[in-house]
Amino acid sequence: MILRSKWVVDRKLNIHANGIVDTGGPREELDLGEAILMPGLVNAHCHLEYTEMRWKIAPPRGFTQWIEQITAIKRSWNEADYVRSLDLGMREALEFGTTCMGNWICLPQLVSRIQLSPMRVWWFWEQIAFRANNELPDWDKWPEQVSKRSDYWVAALSPHAPYTCREEIVKKIREWSEQRALPWSIHVAESQDENAMFERGEGGLFELLKKSGRPMDDCHGMTPFQWLMPQLKAATSSVLLVHGNTLAQQDLDCLKKLSRRSKPWISIAYCPRSRRYFTHPEFPLQECVRRGIHVCLGTDSLASNSNLSLFEEMNLVAKLWAKGTDRDLVEMATIHGARALGVSQREWEAWQDWIAIPCKTSDRKIIWRAISHFTGKPFFVMINGQIIFKRDDLK
């Protein structure tokens, strides 16, 4: 199919006026008119399982209280509730122009029950194992379980966080992922509660996990990132760190050194609106960019966000990051997200995943701003050369 548009942003993020994209397949033409045709967005971090928790958790007084509230809801849910959430969330993300996603899942059996979606999804099976007697599940069947559903779905693992997984578990997940050339991911340095636990051995999170049976002998004068450092140094496959709101200067310096290696690719998934919901410290975006640390964008879950729009994440970052450019934001929401999931530049450029947003401007200089400040939903979405939906009047 030939796609025509007033503006085309190609998969290398070059701008073309009156551009044409050949997606292969039938030799039909579709004129998108006064629009920007661009690569589909990549949501690097989401929990679709919690979609139906939108507005159901009262604004917490702290991160630990939020954990207690969401845990109570999860205990009251059955598998049908989670399946419904996954289906609703997938559809919503597609409507907002996300064509590729890293999604965290607690109940792996749900993958076989949800509606099949055309979206490219990296399914990170989240592991929580902080007690000494926790038995690990069998991970070896997980890739086959996911690939049976879709050729565009990938199975991966994620130790939830330093406070919910022993280091030996993180090491086993790292090794399992490396044997299969898969990325792995972990939430780290998300909240001040987490820092207080590891640096000073105190606070609400420390007390909650101690009461839950977690050994606390590793909570002594280190940041959560420092706790994780041995596994990052040993890593040979892509690693996606999630949140990073409370990374200390020495943590950022270590990340800078790790980022200079050719392998693995280490990224941070920044979730702007979720960070604002919790009133976590400001994510050190400028410091990361200055050090050459790779940053991508995520929405997190609707237990701490209002919708699954990456455009709105870009909107917020544009307001907070005075020294950044609008092109930087688009790169974070597209190419950087794919790279964080282990997708090579060659693979990315070969994908026929496109979205279109309305744009009447004739000024090339404001195209990036038109994208990063867009607030609606795309009127055209294509994945793997197949039109997922389009405005009715397009011919």
Q: How does residue 357 score in pLDDT terms, banded at 50, 70 and 90?
A: very high
Per-residue pLDDT at 262: 64
Burial class (CB in 10 A: 0-12, 13-18, 19+), 171: middle
CATH architecture of 2-39+353-390: Roll (2.30)
Contact between 11 and 40 (Cβ < 8 Å): no
Count how many residues are written for the chain. 395
Q: What is the average per-residue pLDDT within 226-254?
A: 96
Q: Dump pLDDT digits (tens) for 288-341.
A: 999 999 999 999 999 999 999 999 999 999 999 988 899 999 999 999 999 999
Of all residues in the chain, the percent with pLDDT exceeding 70 is 100
| Ranges of each domain in the chain | 2-39+353-390, 41-350
Q: Dump pLDDT digits (tens) for 114-141.
A: 999 999 999 999 999 998 888 889 999 9
Q: What is the average per-residue pLDDT within 165-191?
A: 97
3-state secondary structure of 163: coil
Contact between 298 and 46 (Cβ < 8 Å): yes
Is pLDDT at 183 greater than 70 in this prediction?
Answer: yes
Q: Dump pLDDT digits (tens) for 145-170.
A: 999 999 999 999 999 999 999 999 99
CATH architecture of 41-350: Alpha-Beta Barrel (3.20)
Residue 263's contacts (CB-CB under 8 Å, 6 or more residues apart) are: 236
